[in-house]
Amino acid sequence: MKVTQTYTTIAGVLLVALGLLIRYAIGRRRFYRRNFAGLQTFSGYKRALLISLAERLGMWFANACIIAGGLLLAATQIIHHKF
């Protein structure tokens, strides 16, 4: 029982960390893509569409990782304190 709890806790922490890391990387790329007026600049229309889509999907994945990790951590704590 203790080993499963440890693995679940590690998986939860790793998922939350992965989600936060992805959100940080996307935010950093968006920040450095801005010009002096605060607008994002792209080299072309296709590139803007692809990058916007990839970032949107990446943010969904990151949010899912954070939520899943949080649920794993919460479930581990609930099970640990019940027994």
Tokens 């990790």 belong to which residue?
69
pLDDT at 79: 82
What's the average model confidence in pLDDT over 15-38? 96
pLDDT category of residue 2 using cuts at 50, 70 and 90: low
Q: How many domains does the chain have?
A: 1
Beta carbons of 69 and 14 less than 8 angstroms apart: yes
Distance CA 75, CA 4 (A): 12
Mean pLDDT across the chain, nearest whole number?
A: 92
Write down the pTM of the prediction. Answer: 0.85
- Cα 22 → chain centroid: 5
- Domain span at 26: 2-82
Which residues lie across from 34 on neighbouring strands?
40
Q: Amino acid identity, residue 34?
A: R
